[in-house]
Amino acid sequence: MLSFTLPIIFALVGACASNDNLKPIIIQQGTHPVADIQWTFETTPSWSDEFDYTGLPAPSKWDYDLGGSGWGNNEKQNYTNSINNASVADGKLTITARKENSNGMNYSSARLVTRNKLDVLYGRMEINAKLPTGKGTWPAIWMLPTDFAYGGWPKSGEIDIMEHVGYDQNTVHFTTHTESYYFKINTQKTATKFIPTASMEFHTYRVDWTPYAISGYFDDVKVFEFANEGNTYKEWPFDKRFHLLLNIAVGGDWGGAKGIDDQIFPQSMVVDYVRYYKMIKK
């Protein structure tokens, strides 16, 4: 989810009606590609939230991005740390966008982050979630660099494990952005998959991140692979630590491209679990 600028997606593959038609994207490598030595991952998560408690999200694991600045995308929500926008009960985390005046904005929502609580370099991140629906919603499960070592967006990279806009119901996106590969120059790496029950049932969204590649999986089906070309940070800034974000935006340049239906609110993204597995070093 682009935090700093307009997030229009130019898909390299179209939405697919079934897994049989889905093909992973294989990106052509550069002159100094990193060898694939078949990195694997630990089988027990080193960090997880199973949401087996009640109340606000655990402060030992989650922080919040706050405010109604538009977040570089002309978004219409104010992000809060209120239990009305982010709450845990019955084994689930619920992030809720509401139609209400909130700090001068017309909608409230929440954007949870693990920054400075879980910052990772490589590994497997797996999230089981049910998405909101309706025109104007824009949920995302994604990762940003903690330190922005290579500079501001998109120089230090972005990994979108799951993005969805409500006016294109059930089409789910996996995308990476870098200085060389991002939407403003129509070069970003992205894949889409049609998931007919994205807002009715829980589905698993996953990234496997190694020095060789970033690979995306929806319900354990590989939909995306972006291999490390071995050139410069402009192509591969993914050698620094990143953190996880969970949020619902309202409107914005992509989410609101076909307007906002105020009759749909409140809308929620419900998360069953978040699990991080370390990569096993070779």
Long-range contacts of 32-36 (CB under 8 A, 24+ apart): 32/229, 32/230, 32/231, 33/227, 33/228, 33/229, 33/230, 34/211, 34/212, 34/227, 34/228, 34/230, 35/212, 36/212, 36/213, 36/227
The whole-angstrom separation of Cα 90 and Cα 54 is: 7
Q: Which of 158, 179, 229, 235 is catalytic?
A: 158
The whole-angstrom separation of Cα 114 and Cα 120 is: 10
Catalytic (active site) residue 158: yes
CB 226 within 8 A of CB 177: no
Closest of 27, 48, 12, 4 to residue 192, by C-alpha: 12
* DSSP string computed for 227-279: E--SS-TTT--TTS-EEEEEEEEEBSTTTTTT---GGG-SEEEEEEEEEEEPE
Q: Which of 163, 179, 229, 235 is catalytic?
A: 163
- Active-site residue numbers? 158, 163
